[in-house]
Structure 1
């Protein structure tokens, strides 16, 4: 289990359901967290509405105002009390937008947010290590939220959802694939000095349901879990459950058995 006194977490996409749930569970458990948010007041309001005490936020949460595609902003979120964080949780993603197109009826308000923010994260880590070479000895673990439907392995989407995933959601999935490809390439670097993360865990969730409320799920223990090679196939999953699973299985266990895996999660 993780020693909370030596563990800090940076959360990106903290106002989204999955990362928000991970953030809440981390704060309630007494972990120190740094969260990047374009509108800090929005994040604070979300946390208070879920029942967190202002005292908990004051003691354990640092909100960094900024953009996940800005290297300087990301650097500020990655360094807490002068030290690089132990874990990074990213739940970034664009907002779906319907458009009049038979080929691509669904796009995103920011079609490249996942790929761009991933490049920014790696550039920010590179800059941090360049400025403080001794700090490169301690590298963070990254857990990111992705989606089923983009696997190179066995089909991980139910038959009746395949048109939705492979046709209607083609544009959003391009962004997720680019994000995953960038991280796979990065972790394949032969020189450890060229790898800025100690490990990566991809979380490919089924179709996400629910909003911003960490109490709205069925519980992380109810989830079915697989890998890219042996995926579990399901229709939907609560954002709250995804966030709780990341906290319980990745943060608390240093990634545990899932290090280096692309995990499939479904209800």
Structure 2
């Protein structure tokens, strides 16, 4: 990666994405991140051992939320007033809502923003389309970013990837929140499979489907990414839980560091 390239993060205060960001900064990469409350993200990074000097030198935090088109553009594009714009080489998104209980037998669990993943995806696609229109000759297909999104097991239409003991939890109790993840995946897949390459806003996509997430964002709290079981949609790794920090580290090691070339177009299941 050249010194001008950077990784764009959405949902950076979430456990998996925050852990990935910590590893990214510790490895010397430059990054941008969208945050509704930048001070919260900075405090989380300090708590993970990231110095203020590292934050100042390697991270640009843009204040805003996923509905803010201008803020999203600032996260994805640097030197936007220059004839040589620099676009994020990768996008890491852990956007998601907060689960909430409600008095309903059919839908006992919902989320505070039931369409947040779909909205985030639509807005990122919209902003990238705007960027390519604004700079029609300066960004080639190979310069378009690879997007990695954190989805969930239990949304596959191909093969069951949830153990029997969790199937009621996933397919009944969590059915409503998981609809948003499915829409997110569909939007990304449809765009990356566009027959007209010029309409594809991403160079490729990786969908990460962890099993039930445990723990917090602390990179010291996991068991280590090498201990994870991995699978693909046709042959998923089936398990009960996985630590958020391990998911974040896996994304860093297998996607951020390498560019994720060997995983493009795949849906990767992660579990312990």
Q: Shorter-normalised TM-score: what interval?
A: over 0.9
1:1-267 to structure 2, matched below 5 A, reads 3=1, 5-81=3-79, 82-137=85-140, 138-267=143-272
Q: Name the CA distance, whole Å, in 2 between partners of 1:135 and 1:94.
A: 36
Q: CA deviation at 1:191?
A: 1.1
TM-score by length of 1: 0.97
Shift of 1:192: 1.1
**SS in structure 2 opposite 1:89?**
strand
Q: Check whether the contact 2:208–2:270 (CA below 8 A) recurs between aligned residues.
A: yes
User: How many residue pairs end up in the alignment?
Assistant: 265
Quick one: distance in 1 between partners of 2:56 and 2:187?
Answer: 35
Whether the aligned pair in 2 keeps the contact of 1:186 and 1:195 (CA below 8 Å) is: yes
Q: Secondary structure at the match of 1:241?
A: helix
Gaps of 5+ in 1: none
User: For residues 177 and 76 of structure 1, what CA distance do their matches in structure 2 show?
Assistant: 27
Of 133-142 and 104-113, more deviation after overlay is shown by: 133-142
State the 1:213 CA deviation: 1.1
Deviations 1:54-85 (A, max 9, x none): 11111100000011122211111001344111
- 1:179 to partner: Cα distance: 0.4
Distance 1:161 1:8 in 2: 38
> Deviation string for 1:86-125 (max 9, x for gaps)?
0000000000001111111100000000001000000000
**CA deviation string 1:31-58 (max 9, x = no partner):** 0000000100000000001111111111
Deviates more, 1:180-189 or 1:35-44: 180-189
Partner of 2:82: none
Of stretches 12-21 and 131-140 in structure 1, the one that deviates more from structure 2 is: 131-140
Paired residues of 2:4 and 2:86 also in contact (CA < 8 A): no
Q: Which runs of 5+ in 2 are unaligned?
A: 80-84
